[in-house]
């Protein structure tokens, strides 16, 4: 027996709605309400974060000591776009290679193209065995897409 089968109703935190889990339309309405609240909370989080970032700038410190709490401002402008220009400029000045590699770090990443791997596996059974052995399945949480019915005068 699943958790949903064991529960007849569910109290939605922060919303205060009690939902009968076996009533699909009630559950869908409640899920829509939770998503609306989630959007409002994301907006509130952005406004509050912006206020703390502004205070951090005003004080001239990335860390704000706020009584029993501190707030550290992270992020901002990323200098990654200037990497090539920096490297060329330092090289032109005779910067030693070991120092240059300490200043400009090289990052390499690899990603499997699943469609291309599948085609290669189809074409060659030995490739298929290696590709199958390397595969790891990762469980992802389920999601539900809700669409609200078009109201009078609105296009569907």
Give tens-digit pLDDT for 8-31.
999 999 889 999 999 999 999 999
Q: Where are the domains of the chain?
A: 1-76, 77-106, 109-137
> What is the mean pLDDT of the segment spanning 115-137?
94
Q: What pLDDT shows up at residue 46? A: 92
- Kindly give the interhelix angle for 114-123 and 125-134, rounded to the nearest 10 degrees: 140
Give tens-digit pLDDT for 40-61.
999 999 999 999 999 999 999 9
Say how far residue 141 (Cα) sits from the centre of its chain: 14
């Amino acid at each position: 027996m699943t958790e949903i089968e064991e529960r007849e109703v569910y109290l939605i935190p922060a919303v205060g709605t009690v939902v009968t889990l076996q009533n699909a339309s009630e559950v869908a309405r409640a899920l829509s309400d939770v998503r609306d609240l989630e959007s409002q909370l994301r907006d509130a989080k952005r406004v509050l974060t912006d206020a703390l970032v502004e205070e951090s700038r005003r004080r001239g410190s990335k860390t704000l000591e706020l009584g029993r709490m501190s707030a550290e401002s992270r992020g901002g402008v990323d200098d990654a776009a200037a990497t090539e220009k920096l490297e060329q400029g330092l090289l032109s000045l005779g910067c030693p290679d070991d120092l240059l590699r300490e200043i400009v770090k090289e990052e390499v990443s690899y990603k499997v193209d699943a469609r291309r791997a599948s085609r290669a596996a189809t074409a060659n059974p030995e490739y298929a065995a290696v590709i199958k052995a390397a595969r790891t399945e990762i469980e992802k949480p389920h999601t539900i897409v809700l669409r609200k019915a078009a109201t009078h005068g609105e296009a569907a």
